[in-house]
Amino acid sequence: MKVAVVGATGLVGTEMLTVLAARNFPVTELIPVASERSKGKEIEFKGKKYKVVTPSEAIALKPDVALFSAGGDTSKEFAPKFAEAGITVIDNSSAWRMDPTKKLVVPEVNGDVLSADDKIIANPNCSTIQMVVALKPLHDKYKIKRVVVSTYQSVTGTGVKAVNQLMDERAGKEGEKAYPYQIDLNVIPHIDVFQENGYTKEEMKMILETNKIMRDDSIKVTATTVRIPVMGGHSESLNIEFENDFDLNDVRAALAAQSGCIVVDDPANLQYPMPKDAHGRDEVFVGRIRRDDSQPNTLNMWVVADNLRKGAATNAVQVAELLAEKGLI
């Protein structure tokens, strides 16, 4: 299978290559794609070297599938051109997520929506992906009414510039800034741009994408998204109100049975999910599972995942795996 990775030189693109190799995706020919300035640069994949090409050159090479992680503007410009050439695009930007004509897919949650007609498939926001993987079995069992989520998001979600800013500050060096404020020894309650309603774009992504992926607009979601000086993964505190009551052991069992979900919940032995443990892993980790005693039918839990893996690269590769399994690519 010929696979193009658009944005192959970026943080997520690099991770996509790692995940394709780690999961033994049947790549017969890799086509690394980046902007004109990276053209000709060599990328190594499974011991072979491949030269970076431009998007237009990649289309001419007719890959079977193209994994996009090059930003919204690139996706808006080139994803339709790839699709018109009969190439299936799995796009990691926000460009197509809320387009009613495009599927927004987390394989463990709504992979059944995919069809042969889907030529541009959207990969959800990183913080939404890990949340819905954990919510799905609980919604099926107890029906979710409302979710209150606060996130603790890694600097890797912003990109290389943010990682460099954190490490420069930690080393006491001046350097290029990704954030308007210091991030080391600080938290910034601001991810993406502020909207007229006072929420940030990241918060609105979590709200709107959750309803679309779960196929249920009745689920009420409110979010506060926060950047913290961490690398390795995003963490989320979830407060979930259900229509029906639950037993905590049944909740743990339902989460443990969910594909792609690992329960780490043993407070007596100080066992709970942390970003450093999720780093480099493809699963979503859930712990601190407890009843909210302040109101009926309400649960608290803590959800952690590597935002570059399950939150981006792994999810995109899993969508490609599902398409291949169904014979759609």
pLDDT in tens, 29-86: 999 999 988 999 999 999 999 999 999 999 999 999 999 999 899 999 999 999 999 9
- CA dihedral sign of residues 314, 315, 318, 324: negative
Whether residue 60 contacts residue 36, with contact meaning beta carbons closer than 8 Å, is answered with no
User: Which structural domains are found in the chain, ordered by start?
Assistant: 2-123+312-326 (3.40.50.720), 127-154+187-305 (3.30.360.10)
> Is 38 assigned a ligand-binding role in the annotation?
yes
At residue 138 the predicted structure's pLDDT band, cuts being 50, 70 and 90, is very high
pTM to 2 decimals? 0.95
Three-class SS string for 238-285? Answer: EEEEECCCCCHHHHHHHHHHCCCEEECCEHHHCECCCHHHHCCCCCEE
Active-site pick, 126, 139, 261, 279: 126
Q: Is 126 a catalytic residue?
A: yes
> Is 198 assigned a ligand-binding role in the annotation?
no
Active-site pick, 139, 190, 234, 279: 234
Q: Of 75, 25, 50, 46, nearest to 282 (Cα)?
A: 25
37-50 pLDDT, tens per residue?
A: 899 999 999 999 99
> Is 227 assigned a ligand-binding role in the annotation?
yes
> Is 153 assigned a ligand-binding role in the annotation?
yes
Instruction: Compute the average pLDDT of residues 177-205.
Output: 98
> Is 40 assigned a ligand-binding role in the annotation?
no
Q: State the Cα torsion 91-317-112-278 to the nearest 10°.
A: -110
pLDDT of residue 121: 98
* pLDDT of 232 higher than 90: no
3-class secondary structure, 291? strand
> Is 12 assigned a ligand-binding role in the annotation?
yes
222 alpha-carbon distance from chain centroid: 19
At residue 278 the predicted structure's pLDDT band, cuts being 50, 70 and 90, is very high
Q: Is 261 a catalytic residue?
A: no
| Cα first-last separation, the chain | 9
> Is 215 assigned a ligand-binding role in the annotation?
no
